[in-house]
């Protein structure tokens, strides 16, 4: 039986019983950081015996996970991921002791698979058949997959800024996906209100005992894979901070059992455009002020980390460590460098951690002989196009045959290569219309053309790509062209992008007034031949660029 013997407040030390899915709040001092205590003496004996007959996944450590009888459940597999020694990425930076904890080997390629496995197993054990989660992407997909196996209905709330492929992947597993036109913190509020109204379980992330306890299995695996020794540093990119909070519970338990001689120093890395923890840390504060996220790496866009930051700050004060931020560009560079040097494709949220590692090594914050472990999660698919774009290679045509190119041909090719590409965003649910316009534009010049299938996807792509021109249909599912244009003009990043609206229906006087001042032009579908329409779009682009 692995159910916690009790919960103990990390602030005042008071103990209280563990109650599944009741928010873990100290009944004495209202602290939200309660630690689960198990029969560690018995578990240590099993560890010293080599954990015989245990699976090679997180259920290997089921004695310290909050379930009554894990062996009796049809458990969703997660964990048991490899630990790789860096062969080229870190050595070229002058360090030979960097390891990657490769969480891409989970069921949905994310360390959130651990969280989903334990949380959903606990739901199953307590006969919960419907639940709600708010997510920036990875947790939603992981929970959707785990709930599908368990037969639990899942409501997923995600901001519409999340790459659309993430939303579709969650829907593929059968989750009910709700897109919220707002940031992640607003999305969490709406999810909470929805769960309360329907009397459904809301997964509470760091304040959920099953979710938090799941992450400590990363520490157990790292220590076992290193031959029952602790690294000197553990590095992870964070949004809300659940991951390292849980991981460090594992390191602390191992240290308390006498199985390691120290708890590693902690490095928390954030995207510069959403780094409330880093700002507070560098100011010497134990409370983080909320920020408005401004990063293309949406998975890390938690603007208000709440008390999670304070708990992480306490860990750095007790065991050593730091918090650092990197730019989106630095993260994307690290992503490409890791792929080219190690053959490892990671998502932008993970590349933030590797950019942070590069920064720490350059600044001499990691000793030459110190052992470092970096949390590596998430394959680039389906997000690599948000980093590299649709047109990630440039064609240079020198000559029709294989003969040496004439000098004038080479010069023309180089001039074409130097020319700054112009980006156009098409927002239209009619794929045939969009494809025709795209082909005509690309036939005129080396335009980078992106296509969004509805207004919500269009908003996300507009904010990511900041195109030179947006061409939008007026009648679309979800948010229509009117709402789409109004949202664009409310956002400082997109308000100056010229918008051309195309409508298949007659526009009323009131509708024209609604669009007036917000768009560059309005065209009726069929009023112009498509080629002439495209020529007019090119005129708009050239006027904007001063060509």
Residue ranges of domains in the chain = 86-100+216-386, 390-419, 421-545
Alpha carbon distance 389, 442 (integer Å): 15
Q: Does residue 47 carry a pLDDT above 80?
A: yes
Per-residue confidence band for 487, with pLDDT thresholds at 50, 70 and 90: confident
Nearest by Cα to 218 from 122, 80, 318: 80
Alpha carbon distance 531, 441 (integer Å): 9
pTM over the 0.75 mark: no
Each residue of 103-158: pLDDT tens digit? 999 899 889 999 999 999 999 999 999 999 998 778 899 999 999 999 898 988 88
Mean pLDDT of 448-460: 84
Mean pLDDT of 471-484: 83
Q: Which has the minimum average pLDDT: 97-106, 120-129, 237-246, 513-522?
A: 513-522
How many CB atoms within 10 Å of residue 122? Answer: 24
Q: Does residue 540 carry a pLDDT above 80?
A: no
**How confident is the model at residue 385, as a pLDDT?**
47
**How confident is the model at residue 118, as a pLDDT?**
94
**How confident is the model at residue 471, as a pLDDT?**
86
Mean pLDDT, the chain, integer? 84
**How confident is the model at residue 103, as a pLDDT?**
94
Q: To which residue do tokens 């849980």 refer? A: 246
Each residue of 145-193: pLDDT tens digit? 999 999 898 988 888 777 777 788 888 888 888 888 777 778 888 888 8
**How confident is the model at residue 407, as a pLDDT?**
45
- % of the chain at pLDDT higher than 70: 88
Q: Which has the minimum average pLDDT: 342-346, 483-487, 492-496?
A: 492-496
Side-by-side strand order, sheet with 372-376 = 83-85, 98-102, 372-376, 233-237, 265-271, 321-326
Q: Which has the minimum average pLDDT: 91-100, 212-221, 433-442?
A: 433-442
**How confident is the model at residue 366, as a pLDDT?**
97
On whether the CB atoms of residues 347 and 379 are closer than 8 A, the answer is yes
Mean pLDDT of 254-259: 97
How many CB atoms within 10 Å of residue 273? Answer: 17
Q: Does residue 73 carry a pLDDT above 70?
A: no
Q: Does residue 421 carry a pLDDT above 60?
A: no
Tell which wins on pLDDT, 451 or 102.
102
Helix or strand (DSSP H, E) at 319: helix 307-319
**How confident is the model at residue 445, as a pLDDT?**
64
**How confident is the model at residue 25, as a pLDDT?**
87
Alpha carbon distance 211, 246 (integer Å): 8
Alpha carbon distance 177, 154 (integer Å): 9
Q: Does residue 479 carry a pLDDT above 70?
A: yes
Per-residue confidence band for 532, with pLDDT thresholds at 50, 70 and 90: confident
Query: In CATH, what class is 421-545?
Result: alpha beta
Q: Does residue 232 carry a pLDDT above 50?
A: yes
**How confident is the model at residue 23, as a pLDDT?**
78
Could you say which DSSP state residue 170 is in?
H
Per-residue confidence band for 241, with pLDDT thresholds at 50, 70 and 90: confident
CA trace torsion 313, 317, 318, 320 (10° rounding):
100
Q: What is the total residue count of the chain?
A: 547
Q: Does residue 387 carry a pLDDT above 70?
A: no
Q: Does residue 74 carry a pLDDT above 80?
A: no
Q: Does residue 545 carry a pLDDT above 60?
A: no
Q: Does residue 391 carry a pLDDT above 80?
A: no
**How confident is the model at residue 71, as a pLDDT?**
63
Same fold, 86-100+216-386 and 421-545: yes
CATH (one of 3.40.50.1100, 1.10.238.10, 3.90.550.10, 3.40.50.10490) for 86-100+216-386:
3.40.50.1100
Each residue of 76-100: pLDDT tens digit? 889 999 999 999 999 999 999 999 9
Helix or strand (DSSP H, E) at 236: strand 233-237
């Amino acid at each position: 039986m692995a159910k916690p013997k009790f919960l103990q407040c990390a602030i005042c030390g008071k103990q209280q019983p563990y109650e599944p899915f009741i928010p873990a709040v100290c009944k004495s001092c209202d602290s939200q950081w309660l630690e689960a205590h198990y029969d560690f003496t018995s578990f240590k004996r099993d560890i010293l015996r080599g954990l015989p007959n245990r699976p090679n996944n997180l259920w290997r450590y089921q004695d310290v996970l909050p379930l009554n009888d894990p062996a009796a459940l049809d458990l969703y597999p997660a964990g048991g991921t490899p630990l790789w020694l860096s062969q080229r990425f870190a050595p070229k930076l002058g360090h030979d002791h960097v390891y990657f904890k490769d969480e891409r080997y989970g069921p949905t390629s994310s360390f959130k698979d651990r969280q989903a496995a334990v949380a959903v197993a606990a739901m199953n054990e307590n006969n919960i058949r419907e639940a709600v989660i708010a997510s920036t992407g990875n947790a939603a997909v992981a929970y959707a997959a785990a709930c599908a196996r368990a037969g639990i209905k899942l409501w997923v709330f995600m901001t519409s800024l999340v790459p659309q492929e993430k939303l579709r992947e969650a829907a593929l597993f059968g989750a009910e996906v709700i897109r919220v036109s707002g940031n992640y913190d607003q999305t969490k509020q709406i999810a909470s209100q929805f769960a309360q109204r329907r009397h459904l379980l809301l997964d509470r992330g760091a304040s959920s005992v099953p979710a938090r306890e799941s992450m400590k299995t990363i520490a157990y695996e790292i220590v076992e894979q290193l031959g029952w020794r602790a690294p000197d540093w553990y590095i992870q990119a964070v949004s809300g901070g659940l991951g390292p909070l849980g991981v460090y519970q594992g390191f602390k338990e191992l240290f308390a059992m006498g199985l390691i001689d120290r708890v590693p120093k902690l490095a928390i890395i954030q995207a510069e455009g959403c780094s409330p923890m880093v700002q507070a840390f560098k100011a010497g504060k134990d409370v983080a002020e909320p920020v408005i996220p401004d990063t293309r790496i949406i998975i890390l866009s938690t603007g208000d980390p709440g008390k999670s930051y304070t708990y992480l700050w306490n860990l750095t004060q007790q065991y050593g460590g730091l918090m650092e931020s990197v730019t989106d560009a630095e993260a994307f560079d690290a992503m490409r460098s890791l792929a080219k040097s190690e053959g490892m494709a990671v998502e932008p949220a993970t590349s933030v951690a590797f950019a942070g590692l590069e920064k720490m090594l350059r600044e001499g914050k990691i000793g030459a002989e110190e052992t470092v472990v970096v949390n590596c999660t998430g394959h680039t698919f389906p997000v690599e196009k948000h980093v590299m774009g649709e047109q990630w290679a440039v064609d240079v045509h020198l000559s029709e045959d294989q003969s040496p190119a004439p000098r004038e041909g080479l010069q023309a090719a180089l001039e074409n290569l130097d020319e700054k590409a112009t980006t156009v965003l098409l927002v239209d649910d009619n794929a045939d219309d969009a494809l025709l316009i795209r082909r005509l534009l690309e036939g005129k010049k080396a335009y980078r053309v992106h296509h969004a299938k509805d207004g919500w996807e269009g908003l996300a792509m507009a904010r990511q790509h900041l195109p030179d021109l947006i061409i939008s249909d007026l009648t679309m599912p979800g948010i229509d062209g009117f709402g789409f244009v109004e949202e664009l003009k409310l956002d400082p990043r997109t308000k100056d992008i010229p918008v051309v609206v195309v409508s298949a229906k007659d526009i009323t006087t009131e509708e024209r007034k609604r669009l007036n001042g917000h768009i560059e032009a309005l065209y009726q579908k069929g009023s112009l031949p498509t080629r002439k329409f495209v020529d007019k779009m090119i005129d708009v682009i050239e006027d904007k660029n001063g060509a």
